[in-house]
Chains A and B, each alone.
Chain A
């Protein structure tokens, strides 16, 4: 899985596209490790960078989806390694303050031999709470509980509370936070 991550990160770095690993791989890195079928990477390319990125990726055994449409709609497109079945979802950063702040707070990280960046633990929590708020997913909340338990006091609680209020997930944050004495 990290082989494909390495190929995609190398292409992103070559075109100077700001990016970070997010989603389940990021939250598993900060919290409870679990198996996954794909890797989410948030990207913030210009149209020219997207052109060059697609050209770079469209070689060998990679299937590459419609990056131009993803950029126009601020959505995602797939890169699939047809030899292994692993998939990377390249997600164009949403045009909102939280997404810009989140990408700005990315942290250096290594995944096996791959040096890249990853969403911060706080931003993983906020993204999962936002996802859970829309989907009602108990699994997302379980992941957040594990993440909070493993990170412990190193979490920036003021940041969490501030952005939970902006994103409308303060109630969910209160629900998943460890109670005193637990």
Chain B
């Protein structure tokens, strides 16, 4: 099954573009997409919580992405000052 929101001809163009990027280009795209999502997530956390402290924002992100157990383990090892 192909993506429901993409027409077959558009999908062919999309796949050809990904093929043309090559493995290193696709790897760089992964990093860039992932970093964009991380920054958007941190911005959402700032908005929701009003938290200004960067370390606390990252703590929230760790809980959101990697689960509360991981966040608690990190907090035990790196307690807030």
Chain A residue contacts of B36, Cβ below 8 A: 35
Chain A binding surface, main DSSP class: mixed
Choose one: A30, A61, A85, A112; the contact of B31 (CB below 8 Å). Answer: A112
Complex CA gap A13/B62 in Å reads: 27
Q: How many contacts A-B (CB < 8 Å)? A: 98
Flag the segment in A98-106, A143-151, A155-163 that touches B: A143-151
Q: Assuming A82-B58, A150-B18, is B28 touching A35 (CB within 8 A)?
A: no
Contacting residues of chain B (49-81) with chain A, CB-CB under 8 angstroms = 55, 58, 61-62, 65-66, 70, 73-74, 77-78
Q: State the B residues within 8 Å of A (CB).
A: 1-3, 15, 18-19, 21, 23-24, 26-31, 33-38, 55, 58, 61-62, 65-66, 70, 73-74, 77-78
Q: A31-B18, A61-B78 are in contact. List 16 more A-B contacts (CB 8 A).
A: A1-B30, A1-B35, A29-B23, A29-B26, A30-B23, A32-B15, A33-B18, A34-B33, A35-B34, A35-B37, A63-B77, A65-B73, A82-B55, A82-B78, A84-B58, A87-B66
